[in-house]
Amino acid sequence: MQFNKRSLITLGVLALIVIASYYFFTRKGITYIWHWEKIPEMLFYHGSKSAEDAVPRLRMGVLMMGFILTLKISVASIFFAIIIGTIVGICRLSKEPVTKGLAMAYVELIRNTPLLVQIYIIYFFVGSMLRLSAFTAGTAALAIFAGAYVGEIVRAGIQSIHKGQMEASRSLGMTYAKAMRHIILPQAFKRIIPPLAGQFISLVKDSSLVSVIALADLMFQGQQAVARTYYAFEIYFTVAALYLVMTFALSMATQYIERRLAISD
Amino acid sequence: MIEARNVYKTFKTPDRREVKALVDFSTSIEKGEVVVIIGPSGSGKSTFLRCLNQLEEIDSGEIIIDGVDIYGKKVDINEVREEIGMVFQSFNLFPHKTVLENVILAQIIVRGRKKSEAIDIARGLLRKVGILEKENVYPSQLSGGQQQRVAIARALAMHPKIMMFDEATSALDPEMIGEVLDVMKTLAREGMTMVVVTHEMGFAREVSDRVVFMDGGQIVEEGTAEHFFSNPTHDRTKLFLSQIL
């Protein structure tokens, strides 16, 4: 890819359209006084928190606290989604009808109902039976949801590996489990990194739905801050940017892993 | 060493037709014997090999290897497979592992050898198949002939009692067939028990103790290579030989 005259013209035209439309719409639309200066203190501020904790020092603002919680939920649910997905993916390929049937039922049930409904069910129904915290319930709901998709991705990955690989492994005396672990899964995972990355990026964004069970994630903190200050535009732009930081980092990380694993190609 | 008795094997095609791959198939192979199986495609040669280590399951009959009925209820097929090396037409090296890792993996996780011991054995075998200098490269960087030699080393590293070759040279460019056949000939001369499905008549003539001609899932004719190529008795055999020689 090389920039040339044509790419410059394209960029120029696009910039003109954006600038023109901004002036066009703001001229006839609302007058809004931007308060971007209020945003930094929602990320970090220097000061004391309360009477008990009065020592002035650098502290995290509400949006940064939300960012950290969203990060924790995302990492935890990605971790469990990989485990669930791998198990489900292998079970889907089982010749044993009950194992295969259960895995299929799980995938269909979870994929075909809305995540928001699942979060409510897991938090209010399962959560109150098992006394789960909102964090555990939220993480569980996200992991179970993503696990169904990851399961199908893993299944497709395993099926894409030439059957000669399994035959060669078994002919050397490896059990099915050893062949899976040492030969099939490592090759399958390498192949499914791109669709997995897409799935995990979706998961990070879907994690904003856990704000409905009063988990103080990035989305929840943003909504609260808007309710308090009415700086809706600035705060939602900032929230979006913070989600972008996470998802973009995830994109970069998977591309790095992909390049690393490409050595044997 | 190997005894097959009245083996039947039928495949179902996706459109539910039945293909008889082995029909009342019986043969026996002695220790140290080199048996070459030839025949037209679909005659059941590869199926027989694959039934010997249960990559395919037989419908009925018995296969006894080293005194063990491998389809017996209490038999751990993985233990049987450790003793039978198999070399495939499509090599089937593990692409995510280097040459050396390919050869040591099963030694460590199946045979339970120490890594250092496995590496010593692997290096010895890689030297034997003439490819030691490539131990740290990945299979994709090797030619077909080199890959197949690594695959042979990988199978030999388990110290099997029997080696099976399923059209091991059929996927190779002509100039690479020789290097793989040379390794196989060396093995044969060392007294390895070998079952070889091949179209290489030169190999059959040079090192085999017995040639088996199969068609329609059955043995049509068998005998020494000399008998086979100089005066075959069966019409079907004559026709086949006239087509390939």
The residue of B99, B109, B148 whose CB has the most chain A CBs within 10 angstroms, and thus the best one to mutate to test that interface, is B109
Whether the CA torsion B154, B155, B160, B163 is positive or negative: it is negative
* Cβ-contact A205, A142 below 8 angstroms: no
Look at residues A133, A154, A138 and name the one whose alpha carbon lies nearest to residue A84: A154
Q: Which residues of B touch A262 (CB under 8 A)?
A: none
Of B90, B110, B139, the CB nearest to A173: B110
Percent residues over pLDDT 70 in chain A: 98
Residue A6 neighbours by CB under 8 Å, 6+ apart: none
- Give the C-alpha separation, A113 to A90, whole Å: 23
Look at residues B161, B184, B162, B163 and name the one whose alpha carbon lies nearest to residue B172: B184
CA A177 to chain centre: 30
Cα angle value B73/B33/B169 (rounded, 5°): 90
Strand-pair partners of B60: B8
pLDDT band at A58 (very low <50, low <70, confident <90, very high): confident
Query: What is the residue whose two structure tokens read 């394209």?
Result: A10
Cα of A77 to nearest chain B Cα, Å: 28
Put simply, the answer to whether A187 touches B154 (Cβ < 8 Å) is no
* Cβ-contact A116, A48 below 8 angstroms: no
Put simply, the answer to whether A264 touches B110 (Cβ < 8 Å) is no
Neighbours of A141 (CB within 10 A): 30
Cα of B52 to nearest chain A Cα, Å: 10
Query: What global pTM score does this model have?
Result: 0.87
- The amino acid occupying position B181 is L
* Residue A65: Cβ-neighbour burial (10 angstroms; 0-12, 13-18, 19+): middle
Query: What is the residue whose two structure tokens read 């009950």?
Result: A98
Residue A219 has pLDDT above 90, yes or no: yes
A168-205 confidence digits (pLDDT tens): 999 999 999 999 999 999 999 999 999 999 999 999 99
Put simply, the answer to whether B92 touches A170 (Cβ < 8 Å) is no
B17-46 confidence digits (pLDDT tens): 888 899 999 999 999 999 999 998 888 999
Compute the half-sphere exposure of residue A137: CA atoms within 13 Å on the CB side of its CA: 26
**Would an 8 Å CB–CB cutoff place A178 in contact with chain B?**
yes
Put simply, the answer to whether A168 touches B92 (Cβ < 8 Å) is yes
pLDDT band at A89 (very low <50, low <70, confident <90, very high): very high
Which pLDDT value is given to residue A1?
63
pLDDT band at A214 (very low <50, low <70, confident <90, very high): confident
- Give the C-alpha separation, A66 to A72, whole Å: 10
Which tokens go with B48? 């027989």
Please give the biggest Cα pair distance in chain B. 55
Of A169, A178, A187, the CB nearest to B95: A187
**Residue A244: strand, helix, or coil:** helix
**Would an 8 Å CB–CB cutoff place A176 in contact with chain B?**
no
Which tokens go with A250? 């995830």
Put simply, the answer to whether B55 touches A187 (Cβ < 8 Å) is no
Backbone angles phi, psi at B87, to 5 degrees: -120, 130
Of B90, B94, B158, the CB nearest to A183: B94
A77-86 confidence digits (pLDDT tens): 999 999 999 9
- Give the C-alpha separation, B18 to B2, whole Å: 27
Residues present in chain B in total = 245
Put simply, the answer to whether A167 touches B97 (Cβ < 8 Å) is no
Mean pLDDT of chain A: 92
**Would an 8 Å CB–CB cutoff place A174 in contact with chain B?**
yes
In the DSSP assignment, the letter for residue A182 is I
Q: Which residues of B touch A (CB under 8 A)?
A: 53, 55, 78-79, 81-82, 84-86, 88, 90, 92-98, 105-106, 109-111, 138-140, 151, 154-155, 158
Cα of B121 to nearest chain A Cα, Å: 16
Which pLDDT value is given to residue A227?
94
A115-141 confidence digits (pLDDT tens): 999 999 999 999 999 999 999 999 999
Cα of A221 to nearest chain B Cα, Å: 45
Which pLDDT value is given to residue A31?
72
**Would an 8 Å CB–CB cutoff place A97 in contact with chain B?**
no
Q: Which residues of B touch A265 (CB under 8 A)?
A: 95, 138, 140
Neighbours of B225 (CB within 10 A): 19
Q: Which residues of A touch B106 (CB under 8 A)?
A: 169, 172-174
Of B105, B140, B158, the CB nearest to A264: B140
Q: Which residues of A touch B84 (CB under 8 A)?
A: 171
